[in-house]
Chains A and B, each alone.
Chain A
Amino acid sequence: MIEKLFSLFKTSGIFYLTPGILVMWAVAFTLIYLAIAKDYEPLLLLPIGFGIILANLPLAGLMDPHEGLLWKFYHYGIQWEIIPPLIFLGLGALTDFGPLLANPGLIFLGAGAQAGVYLTFFAAHAIGFNLKEAATVGIIGGADGPTTIFLAAKLAPHMLGSCAVAAYSYMALVPIIQPPIMRLLTTKEERVIRMKKSRKVSQLEKILFPIISTLLIIILVPASAPLISMFMLGNLFREAKAVARLTHAAQNELLNIVTIFLGLPVGATMNAEIFLQTKVIFIFFLGLFAFAVSTATGVILAKFMNLFLKQKINPLLGAAGVSAVPMAARVVHKVGAQADKKNYLLMYAMGPNVAGVIGTVIAAGIFLTLLK
Chain B
Amino acid sequence: MVDGLIIFIAGLGGVFLGMALLYTSIRVTYLITSGFDKKRKKND
Q: Which of A199-241 contact B (CB under 8 A)?
A: 202, 204-205, 208-209, 212-213, 216-217, 220-221
Contacts of A118 in B (CB 8 A): 7-8, 11-12
Known: A202-B37, A217-B18, A362-B15. A212 touches B7 (CB 8 A): no
A: contact size bracket: 35 or more
- Kindly supply a per-residue 1/0 record for chain A positions 84-126, scoring 1 wherever the CB is within 8 Å of any chain B CB and 0 otherwise: 0000000000000000110011011011001101110110011
CB-based contact B16/A205 at 8 Å: no
Nearest CB in chain A: distance from B15 CB, A: 5
CB-based contact B15/A114 at 8 Å: yes
Q: Identify A220's interface contact among B1, B3, B17, B29, CB under 8 A.
A: B17
Contacts of B14 in A (CB 8 A): 220-221, 362-363, 366
Contacts of B25 in A (CB 8 A): 209, 212-213, 216
Contacts of A100 in B (CB 8 A): 26
Known: A202-B33, A205-B29. A131 touches B18 (CB 8 A): no
Q: Identify B22's interface contact among A114, A117, A217, A370, CB under 8 A.
A: A217
Contacts of A220 in B (CB 8 A): 14, 17-18, 21
Known: A107-B23, A221-B18. A115 touches B12 (CB 8 A): yes
Known: A121-B7, A125-B4, A204-B33. A107 touches B12 (CB 8 A): no
CB-based contact A216/B21 at 8 Å: yes
CB-based contact B33/A208 at 8 Å: yes
CB-based contact A105/B22 at 8 Å: no
In the complex, whether A358 has a CB less than 8 A from a CB of chain B is yes
CB-based contact B36/A204 at 8 Å: yes
Bound Cα distance A209, B25 (Å)? 8
Known: A118-B12, A205-B30. A216 touches B7 (CB 8 A): no
Across the two chains, which residue of chain B brings its CB closest to A115?
B12
Nearest CB in chain B: distance from A212 CB, A: 5
CB-based contact B15/A366 at 8 Å: yes
Q: Identify B10's interface contact among A110, A119, A366, CB under 8 A.
A: A366
Contacts of A134 in B (CB 8 A): 4
Given contacts A204-B36, A363-B15, 7 further A-B contacts (CB under 8 A): A101-B30, A104-B22, A108-B20, A118-B12, A209-B26, A221-B14, A362-B18
Q: Which 6 A-B pairs have the closest CB atoms?
A: A125-B4, A104-B26, A111-B19, A362-B18, A366-B14, A366-B11
Q: List 22 A-B contacts (CB under 8 A).
A: A107-B19, A108-B16, A108-B19, A108-B20, A110-B19, A114-B12, A121-B4, A121-B7, A122-B4, A205-B26, A205-B29, A209-B25, A212-B29, A216-B22, A220-B14, A220-B17, A220-B18, A358-B18, A359-B18, A366-B10, A370-B7, A370-B11
